Amino acid sequence: MSIEIDEAYLKRQLEALLRIASPTGYTDEIVHYCSRELERLGLKPELTRRGAIRAVRQGSRRHGARAMVTHLDTLGAQVKSVKDNGRLEVIPIGHWSARFAEGARVTVFSSAGSFRGTILPIKASGHTFNDEVDTLPVGWRYVELRIDAVTTSRQETLALGIDVGDVIAIDPAPEFLENGFINSRHLDDKAGVAIALAAIEALERAAATTPVDTYWLFTIAEEVGVGASSILTGDIASMLTIDNGTSAPGQNSAEFGVTIAMADQSGPFDYHLTKKLVDLCQSEGIPYQKDVFRYYRSDSASAIEAGHDVRTALATFGIDASHGYERIHMHALVSVARLVAAFAVSRVEIKRDAREISGVEGFTHQPTEEADNPLPPEFGSTGSRNT
């Protein structure tokens, strides 16, 4: 069955998620929001001790379940030291360039409450430093956080309640354009969360049945490499990660349709599950392309590295300038949501996956036959080109 995605709902969820600061290590509030929305949609969320969310939509069978995983945490920063001039030295949370930190408006979460501020180059004034503002190197050592409070010394900043280790959230500054483009920070992976919620909403609205239970997982530390390492259960046989694809020179990703990742830096994704996604895109008329990401890892990698024996795949929405000031298009978000919903209701092909360990009977095969590759007629029967 074809599941219709409510584009307006998806957009509303993305707007709401972007308003909630959630750098890795400071995700409690977005966990509360996402849990409430899951409950409103009819699911019962379960939380780990630190706040990763697991919600099950029941299917016809428990064993051999499927999982859809996204992550709630985003990039951010942290106070490294309080400088003599009262400003803050900062270090990144997650992997991103200080080039994109320069000029960012931020919120510092301290024990005394939150403070607003701006990350600036240490030589920010052209009237003072002249050409040095253009020759200053790019790096976290060359930026500082100016707090919007009366402080000109380390002692005054510490007296405000700001100290080493305080978490810093970077303003997303979202802009939703009429032509479908969306510009914002933290679309990785707030857009993936919105996609998952939209797929759930569509399945519930259609009263869709699924052949196996579907686990909807929302992790809280993907940006620092932890991801889905501790939230899977033994019932889960296959896992589809929803995350961003890198649209950039040399990549095949696009801001339209679904980009299906064939491999990332941890190696190839599961052959059979990835092929199933391609087949679903073709049968459902969902535009797609394939790509390989050399400098990229996701919740799938953390699950496999933690020892979970699950088939994994990665369906992405193309992002331009990933981990910077990002841009996506609604066409990709709706396309991925359609694929996620289609995967949830699709039949199970590999029935032995319902058991963690079993014999060789029913185990999969991968094609190895030689392709039909006849010589063109102009070469003749001997292989020499006829002239």
**Tens digit of each residue's pLDDT (9 = 90 or more) over 12-51:** 999 999 999 999 999 999 999 999 999 999 999 999 999 9
List C-alpha distances in Å: 329 to 11, 154, 175, 180, 290: 11, 44, 12, 5, 18
Range scoring the smallest mean pLDDT among 11-25, 107-121, 294-308 = 294-308
**Which residues 6+ apart lie within 8 Å of 142 measured at CB?**
98, 121, 122, 123, 136
pLDDT of residue 230: 86
Mean confidence (pLDDT) of the chain: 95
- Asked if the model's pLDDT at residue 66 lies above 70, the reply is yes
For residues 76 and 167, the answer to whether their CB atoms sit within 8 Å is: yes
- For the chain, report the end-to-end CA distance as a whole number of angstroms: 54
With CA atoms as reference, report the closest residue to 43 among 226, 260, 196: 196
Range scoring the smallest mean pLDDT among 71-75, 89-93, 353-357, 380-384 = 380-384
Active-site residue, from 37, 144, 201, 222: 222
- Asked if the model's pLDDT at residue 189 lies above 70, the reply is yes
**Which residues 6+ apart lie within 8 Å of 12 measured at CB?**
none
With CA atoms as reference, report the closest residue to 170 among 70, 77, 290: 77
What mean pLDDT is predicted for residues 226-231? 89
| CATH no. for 79-170 | 2.40.30.40
Alpha carbon distance 270, 288 (integer Å):
18
What tens digit of pLDDT does each residue of 244-270 get? 999 999 999 999 999 999 999 999 999
Q: How confident is the model at residue 1 (pLDDT cuts 50, 70, 90)?
A: low
Range scoring the smallest mean pLDDT among 163-167, 208-212, 298-302 = 298-302
Q: How confident is the model at residue 375 (pLDDT cuts 50, 70, 90)?
A: confident
What tens digit of pLDDT does each residue of 310-351 get? 999 999 999 999 999 999 999 999 999 999 999 999 999 999
Q: Where are the domains of the chain?
A: 7-74+186-354, 79-170
Q: Which residues pair with 218 in a beta bridge?
A: 53, 70
Q: Which residues pair with 312 in a beta bridge?
A: 239
- Which residue shows structure tokens 């049968």? 283
- Asked if the model's pLDDT at residue 187 lies above 90, the reply is yes
Q: Cα angle vertex 259, ends 257, 262, to 5°?
A: 155
For residues 263 and 292, the answer to whether their CB atoms sit within 8 Å is: yes
Alpha carbon distance 326, 328 (integer Å):
7
Q: How confident is the model at residue 378 (pLDDT cuts 50, 70, 90)?
A: confident
Instruction: Using a pLDDT cut of 70, give the percent of the chain over it.
Output: 98
Q: How confident is the model at residue 377 (pLDDT cuts 50, 70, 90)?
A: confident
Active-site residue flag, 39: no
| CATH no. for 7-74+186-354 | 3.40.630.10
What tens digit of pLDDT does each residue of 129-181 get? 999 999 999 999 999 999 999 999 999 999 999 999 999 999 999 999 999 99
- Which residue shows structure tokens 């609604």? 330
What mean pLDDT is predicted for residues 292-304? 92
pLDDT of residue 386: 63
- Which residue shows structure tokens 């590759």? 373
pLDDT of residue 382: 62
**Which of 247-251's residues contact partners 24+ apart within 8 Å by CB, and which partners?**
247/318, 247/319, 247/320, 247/322, 248/320, 248/321, 248/322, 251/291, 251/293
H/E stretch holding 327: strand 326-329
Amino acid (one-letter) located at 362: G
